[in-house]
Chains A and B, each alone.
Chain A
Amino acid sequence: MLVIAMQVSLVLITIAMLGFIYRLIKGPTVPDRIVALDAIGINLVAMIAVLSMLFRTYVFLDVILLLGILSFIGTTAFSKFLEKGEIIENDRNH
């Protein structure tokens, strides 16, 4: 029962990720694509959690935290680039 629920939820997460990929390809503006990428990163965390439950191993649980941190850093860098034109500013006077 548990295994069947995990397999079903893995398939449904894959369908959700296909929806985000549709928005990533079609999205009319750049922020649309950033929203889709952020949601794909968050969804990948869920997929790794379900996969590590399915494989009955806890060595993948580090990856959850790592992907959360990397997804947040990527989103922050992208939106700062969109807003100011550069990510790390060298000008110290403002």
Chain B
Amino acid sequence: MTVIIETMIILFLLLGVFLTLVAAFGVIRLPDVYTRNHAASKSATLGVMFILLSCFLYFYLIEGHFSSRVLLGIAFIFITAPVGGHLISRAAYHSGVKLWGKSVRDDLKNKK
């Protein structure tokens, strides 16, 4: 039983770390603000949610302490991180940051 629990915790931890590394790689490699924001706000959020889930499982199943704050943190990050990404991207568009040179369409340009 302990082996199953430890395997589950390690699996969630390494999955979260992998997604965080993917987010960092995307933020380094991608060409403009919008694609970088896409990588950072999706992948980093899911990675942190996996790591917090593994933290909750560790304290609940091994230490025997039910931590409602970590569950609340997961819910809060799940709600607010996409909103933050949307706000940054909108502010970037309205303050005049250009799209990548090879982008093919810009639906927001004719909306004004």
Contacts and interface: CB of A to CB of B under 8 A. Distances in A.
B69 interface: yes
Contacts of B21: 12, 15-16
B103 to A, nearest CB: 16
By secondary structure, the A interface counts as helix
Contacts, number: 160
Nearest to A52: B55
Interface in B6-59: 6, 9-10, 13-14, 16-17, 20-21, 23-25, 27-28, 33, 36-37, 40-41, 44-45, 47-48, 51-52, 54-55, 58-59
A17 B17 CA distance: 11
Contacts of A31: 33, 37, 88-89, 91-92, 95, 97
A49 B23 CA distance: 18
B20 A38 contact: no
A79 B41 contact: no
Contacts of A46: 16, 20, 47-48, 51-52
Interface of A: 1-2, 5-6, 8-9, 12-13, 15-20, 22-23, 29-32, 34-36, 38-39, 42-43, 45-46, 49-50, 52-53, 56, 58, 61-62, 64-65, 68-69, 71-72, 75-76, 78-80, 82-83
